[in-house]
Amino acid sequence: MNVIEALQQRQSIRAFLNKEVEEDKINTILSAARYAPSGTNTQPWQVAVVTGETKDKLQTELETNFRKGHKDKVDYQYYPEKWIEPYKSRRVACGLKMYSTLKIEREDKQRQLDQWAANYRAFDAPVMLLFFMDNCMQTGSFMDYGMFLQSIMLAAVDQGLATCPQASLAEYPETIKTVLNYPQDSTLVCGMALGYEDKTALINSYRTEREPITSFCRFYK
């Protein structure tokens, strides 16, 4: 598989098979992703690979907190405080596409809640990846992290695995750090579900639209 094929094949998967991911595949993916570029080679990424009983304990804590309406103080602001166009419309369209695929009506608040709660179980993937960095790092390190995360997702495609990057898991930094006994003075950047795609699951059948290059690119000659 070449890189362009991997880029086009990758999508955010929200239903996984109950099948363990081989540790050597996880190591292969992370070993490849470490070649991602970073400013002055700082390599700011720190990864927690969470599986088994630890994942069960962590996701129970997260989902319980979510259903009770409890939120931790986030380590940084992921989304804008005020949405403007075209980003507002794209965000709405993304949510509508998923809920319409699942035939979840706007009035069905319980099914909406249950679907969103799956975020905090990493969609029942066997592996939950959590990404941290030292909190002294600044905006440039978030750019570095984006390249590292994309490298992980493309390497996962190469290994026959599926992923879903998750900003939602960064909503509970205190809970996650406490369960994992991870330093509280670190920044929780995001999480990621990793596993084998359930190709029969309806939720994996939809794709979000991508803008043509003419909408975001200017050529200067």
pLDDT tens digits, 145-162:
999 999 999 999 999 999
Neighbour tally for 71: CB within 10 Å? 12
Q: 199: domain range?
A: 3-215
Model confidence at 12, pLDDT cuts 50, 70, 90, reads: very high
Strand 127-134 with 162-166, pairing: unpaired
**What's the pLDDT at 106?**
84
Q: What is the DSSP letter of 197?
A: B
> Alpha-carbon distance 107 to 129, whole Å?
33
Mean pLDDT along residues 56-80: 97
**What's the pLDDT at 16?**
98
Any domain includes 220: no
Packing angle between helix 23-33 and helix 139-158, nearest 10 degrees?
A: 130
Any domain includes 91: yes
Model confidence at 143, pLDDT cuts 50, 70, 90, reads: very high
Q: What are 80-106's pLDDT values in tens digits? A: 999 999 999 999 999 999 999 999 998
Q: What is the DSSP letter of 12?
A: B
Any domain includes 195: yes
Any domain includes 14: yes
Any domain includes 117: yes
**What's the pLDDT at 1?**
77
> Alpha-carbon distance 147 to 144, whole Å?
5
182: domain CATH number? 3.40.109.10
> Alpha-carbon distance 121 to 138, whole Å?
29
**Is the model's pLDDT at 144 over the cut of 90?**
yes
The structural domain count of the chain equals 1
- pLDDT exceeding 90 applies to what percent of the chain? 98
Any domain includes 221: no
Location of structure tokens 């679907």: 115
**Is the model's pLDDT at 219 over the cut of 90?**
yes
Neighbour tally for 152: CB within 10 Å? 23
181: left (phi over 0), alpha (psi -120 to 50) or beta: left
